[in-house]
Chain A
Amino acid sequence: MHSTALRQDGSHRNAVEDAEQLAEEARRTHLRFLESMDRVNRAIQETNDLEQMMSDVLDAVLDIFDCDRAVLAYPCDPETTWFRVPMRRGRPAFPSAFIVGAEYHADDEVRAVFRAVGAARGPVPLGAGSVHAVPALIGNEFGVQSALAMAVYPKVDRPYQFTLHQCSRLRVWTAEEQRLFQEIARRLGDGLTTMLMLRNLRQSEARLEEAQRITHVSYFERDLDTGSYTVSNEGYRMLGLEPTGRKLTLADVLLRVHPDDREKVARVDDTLREGGRYEVECRVIWPSGEVRILHSWGDVVREATGPPRRAVGIVQDVTDRKRGEYLTSRVFDSSPDGIAIIGRDYRYQRVNDVYARAWRIAADRMIGMYVADAVGADIFERASKANIDRCLAGEHVEYASWFDTKFGRIYTVVRYTPLKPNSERVESVLVVLSDLTEHMRAQEALQKAQADLAHMARVTTLAELGSSIAHEVSQPLAAILVGGDACQLWLGADPPNVGEARQAIQRIIDDGNRASQVIARIRALLRRGEPTKEVLTVNELIRDTVALTRTELARHGVDVETDLRASVPVVGDRVQLQQVLVNLLLNGADAMSAVTDRPRRLVLRSRDEGNDRVGVDVADTGVGLAPGDGDRIFAAFFSTKADGLGMGLSISRSIVEAHGGRLWATPNERSPGATLHFTLPAAPEVSPA
């Protein structure tokens, strides 16, 4: 613009003056061009920082062209749907355009500009006097009236668009300005190339370092002439050192190595000098005292001529993996359970000693063995194969059973777990075998002991009931004898009275049945042996028990009332459950023995509790519970009686609990005495055949 003004001013001067003036002007223009390029070069060279460089260059350009804004947009790509503004500078009067680093939508107009600018070899003017309009987005939003744009090509990145904005007025860019702009843009392209390369390199280094840190892998170089190591940051950390960038000597390294492993590490040097590759594992001791395990591989770098001068290698911290392997193998080896891994070919891949011992085979011999050969064809076909197949199909399988092996009868719980180390396909089966033979034997012995104890308690109870039971038998027996005599007398009369005799005989038959029922009940209670489960109703049990204890209770002056409403059957051992009821009735009678001022009454109630339980209450009018007796009365050998063994309630509770029920005591709420309650689970709808 200055030059244009000058030319107009000089229209009235003479030719010589004109020529001088033109030469002077050309000289000044040239000087300005050189000055401008110098400023830009300095802006590019004075910093190593990409952002700083861009900012400095744009500031210089603003000044050089006396324009309102200078902008770098990225990428200058006709296909892009977005663009960023890596840098923007503007005069204070026109700051509001683009946020540095933000991403903008590239509409068709913007893309058309990118296309035109990308296709042009030089600067492209936009706005007044140009074939290219300022895109509405930029024109309207940021008040741009004229612009000059050019693509900048860094060699390591996609093109940028470098743009000058003029907002304060319309501007026609002179050829001289365009030429300067083009030159600056090219120079900026070179500067960007350098800076971007530098930045990419730094990023790569940082990424490598990060990768080394994450994978616990370190890269190092060894100078075979000087013996020094160049180590990555992670390498220092592996040795328990702060990353300083200082080169390390072999002595520095050995200082950290566990004394027992130093010789091994020192030998690596010899291997390298002889031109070989190495692999070594060693322990290092950190200043904190922590011991880590490092694994290193390396090789010499061969030169075209002469001996190798340097070696490169990597070091990996394998402590966690080793520890994991160690723990796994400890679990494997010291587990009380037998553990085996079986492949898809039904052969053992790994077994521990416990597993091998179960089949009387040495663990090392078992590897590779066909399962059927180890466990026997019978067990394999009957149990193992089907379970392994299900597990190979992805299922977790668990079962427990008694097995007859060639070494005797064993009870085992076996769990099959599918193993998928790499893929979705089950590659092998983890078998965990727990030998519970001893446990089961102990449990059987315990059950037998409990059954014996219960039997003993029944015998004791019957002894307590002895005289009453004798009465139960002698009553019908006496009636039979009297009836027999009466019958004879009626038949011996003259004339014989057959009608009376027949009635007497009918009563004899009834009494015979009555006596045999009493005996059957007693025999049942005296029966010893395995508890047997059957479906029965508590009402029937209660009636039987009341019949058995009727005389004994009468002897204690105890009245019995029943209110039987249970309708759901239960599953249980008739004898044991009757024993519980006998105990509860006698216990109630005992509790009332000191009572004289009120009726001695036992009330038995039964009822359904929901669909799945049956409840029975035995309420007495006795002395009740002392505070804290609620649970204590169920302890073995707890007795308030001088002559009691104190086993009754304790045994009753264990019987009820063995039936899946509960037995407890509560004081009566509105009257003297206590109530013992028990519940039993209802029989399943369909009884197990």
Chain B
Amino acid sequence: VTTPVVNDADAIVLVVDDDRSLREQLRSLIRSVGLRCETFASADEFLDFRRPEGPACVVLDVLLPGASGLDLPSRLENAGVQIPIIFITGHGTIPMSVRAMKAGAVEFLTKPFSAAELLDAIAQALERDRSAMAVRAEEEAMRSLFAKLTPRERDVFLGVAAGRLNKQIAADLGTAEQTVKQHRGRVMEKLGLHSVADLVRFAERLAPPT
């Protein structure tokens, strides 16, 4: 067995499988590579669990009693929980794997699978969660900076982000061009931006195009 390099004390793997034996073996395997592991026998049990702070991923058996495993991603999304999911299934079909990927699967493994396959998938998923967490932290910081703007400064920010000239923005807001210039300077300062291009990128990340 090639031991993937995933010795991360913060990381946690969440296993959702109704088969007790497989659940226990997965826990053992995951713990043997130094990761923490929590197991759940059903989707409902899992949904009661709060997402950990640190990097985490889910190993999910598609065929669960009660709700199907394939329904779980949308239920997590509705609950505003973001977490990478590795699907495992007893009998994978192509339509099912397509559905799984669309539902946000990192990996789709068909039983029986090797430990290496799973651990690679777990490492990848944790890495993805870790960077997602970094992105989320950055965006969180951007949002707190943005929150410091006055309503007038936000209007000016949106006008600049939309590519309008100072004169046009002043006309839109019914104020003087000079006043717009002053607001614009304070916006750049408060958000730590140096160019119009930086402002446009900031706006895109804050409000992803729908």
Contact = CB atoms under 8 A, between A and B. Distances in A.
Note whether A and B form a binding pair. Answer: yes
Interface of A: 467, 470-471, 474-486, 488-490, 492-493, 497, 500, 503-504, 507-508, 510-511, 514, 551, 554-555
A479 B25 contact: yes
Interface string B95-130: 000000000000000011111101000000000000
Given A479-B21, A482-B118, A483-B25, A470 B91 contact: yes
Interface of B: 1, 3, 19, 21-22, 24-26, 28-29, 31-33, 63, 65, 88, 90-91, 111-116, 118
Nearest to A470: B91
Q: Is the interface of A mostly helix, strand, loop or mixed?
A: helix
Contacts of A555: 63
B21 A497 contact: no
16 contacts: A475-B21, A476-B22, A478-B88, A479-B19, A481-B114, A482-B113, A482-B118, A485-B114, A486-B28, A489-B32, A493-B32, A497-B32, A500-B31, A500-B32, A507-B21, A507-B24
Contacts of A508: 25
Contacts of A503: 28
B22 A475 contact: yes
Contacts of A479: 19, 21-22, 25
Chain A CB count within 10 A is highest, among B91, B116, B118, for B91
Contacts of A481: 112-115
A480 B28 CA distance: 12
A478 B113 contact: yes
B112 A477 contact: yes
Contacts of A482: 22, 25-26, 28-29, 113, 115, 118
Contacts of A486: 25, 28-29, 32, 115
Nearest to A489: B32
Given A482-B29, A483-B28, A489-B115, 4 more contacts: A471-B91, A474-B91, A478-B88, A490-B32
Nearest to B116: A485
Contacts of A484: 115
Contacts of A510: 21
* Shortest beta-carbon contacts, A-B, top 6: A485-B115, A478-B111, A471-B90, A486-B29, A489-B32, A483-B25
A506 to B, nearest CB: 10
A486 B1 CA distance: 9
B166 to A, nearest CB: 60
A452 to B, nearest CB: 30
Contacts of A476: 21-22
Contacts of B88: 478
A478 B112 contact: yes
A471 B91 CA distance: 7
A477 B112 CA distance: 6
Nearest to A503: B28
Contact of B63 (A471, A480, A490): A471
B63 A554 contact: yes
B108 to A, nearest CB: 14
Contacts of B21: 475-476, 479, 507, 510-511, 514
B132 to A, nearest CB: 27
A485 B19 contact: no
B134 to A, nearest CB: 29
A555 B70 CA distance: 13
B65 A554 contact: yes
B90 A474 contact: yes
B150 to A, nearest CB: 53
A475 B31 contact: no
A585 to B, nearest CB: 16
Nearest to B93: A467
A488 B32 CA distance: 9
Chain A CB count within 10 A is highest, among B25, B26, B90, B113, for B25
A470 B28 contact: no
A551 B90 CA distance: 11
Nearest to A485: B115
